[in-house]
Amino acid sequence: MAIFSRLYKHVMRWSRHQYATYWLALVSFSESSFFLIPPDVMLAPMSLAKPQKAWFYAGVTTVSSVLGGLLGYFIGSYAFNVIEPWLVSLSYMDAFHHAEAWFEKWGFWAIFLAGFTPIPYKIFTIASGALGMALIPFIIGSTIGRGLRFFLVATLMRLGGENLEAKLHLWIDRIGWLTIVLALTAYFLLR
């Protein structure tokens, strides 16, 4: 079944849309404080579609993400009681308590790692505000962590360019189905 290759064609077409950069900025901003979809999902195909603009897209993603992280920080500082039921309903409270423990132990390095890794960054932005982390180290750690991550993604896509885009088109259905099989296997093994 060619489900993933059809989806891939749509994603690549959307990544070339005239407003794609604005959508990238919006997703990057919102993901840092409340949205569930990581900006890499847009950054990678946009960088692949226009390799010459890959670093520009990484810059937009980084700045927007850090600004969204500031929103998360201020939510944690001033409105944690309001969003706590939301965290509970999304089953994020365990992650939030882990973030608290990380902040108590590592401080700056916790936000840096959360910015770079696939750990839900929004949990750490909210936790950093709720725990009263100093704002300047928060901004520096977020900028470095998010910047390294997004510029790495953009650089890999830029290096791959049109050749990678063509190869992905050939392999995307196999990769998609393999990912589903691996995810299901991991789910049943870890359950």
Q: Has residue 166 got a pLDDT over 70? A: no
For residues 133 and 125, what is the distance between their CA atoms, to the nearest angstrom?
A: 10
Cα-based distances in Å from 188 to 48, 93, 121: 34, 23, 26
Lowest mean pLDDT among 1-15, 95-109, 122-136: 1-15
What confidence tens digit (pLDDT) does each residue in 101-110 have? 887 788 788 8
Burial of 89 (0-12, 13-18, 19+ CB in 10 A): exposed
Overall size of the chain counted in residues: 191
DSSP annotation of 53: G
Q: Tokens for 42?
A: 């847009």
CA distances from 36 to 29, 109, 135 (A): 11, 23, 24
- The letter for the amino acid at 80 is F
What's this model's pTM, rounded to 2 decimal places?
Answer: 0.77
Comparing C-alpha atoms, which of 14, 43, 51 is closest to residue 27?
Answer: 43
Q: In this structure, what token pair is assigned to residue 68?
A: 């969204």
- DSSP 8-state code for residue 185: H
Whether residue 27 is predicted with pLDDT greater than 70 in this model: the reply is yes
Whether 42 and 27 have beta carbons less than 8 Å apart is answered as: yes
Maximum separation of any 2 CA atoms in the chain, in Å? 51
- The reported pLDDT for the residue numbered 174 is 67
pLDDT digit string (tens) for 39-81?
Answer: 888 888 888 888 899 999 999 999 999 999 999 999 999 998 8
Q: Specify the pLDDT at position 108.
A: 82
Can you give the pLDDT at residue 147? 96
